[in-house]
Amino acid sequence: MPEREALAKYLKEYRKECNETQIEFAFHIGISVEELSLLERLKGNPNLNTL
């Protein structure tokens, strides 16, 4: 599985495991809701700071 797909899958599964919305989860990991949404949908390219 390519790295972006693995990251997207992990983020979404972990967020749901934590029972958090995208808003809550994005706040806890220190990124914007928009960036989290893009990452989960394979539309974003995280930079090194985000990783």
Per residue in 12-49, pLDDT tens? 999 999 999 999 999 999 999 999 999 999 998 888 88
21 CB-side CA count, 13 A: 4
In a domain, 50, yes or no: no
In a domain, 45, yes or no: no
In a domain, 8, yes or no: yes
In a domain, 49, yes or no: no
In a domain, 47, yes or no: no
Query: What band does 50 get if pLDDT is binned at 50, 70 and 90?
Result: confident
Residue 31's pLDDT is 94
In a domain, 17, yes or no: yes
Residue 42's pLDDT is 93
Domain containing 21: what range? Answer: 3-40
Residue 1's pLDDT is 66
pTM score of the predicted model: 0.86
Q: Tokens at residue 22, please?
A: 């995208």
- Please state the domain count of the chain: 1
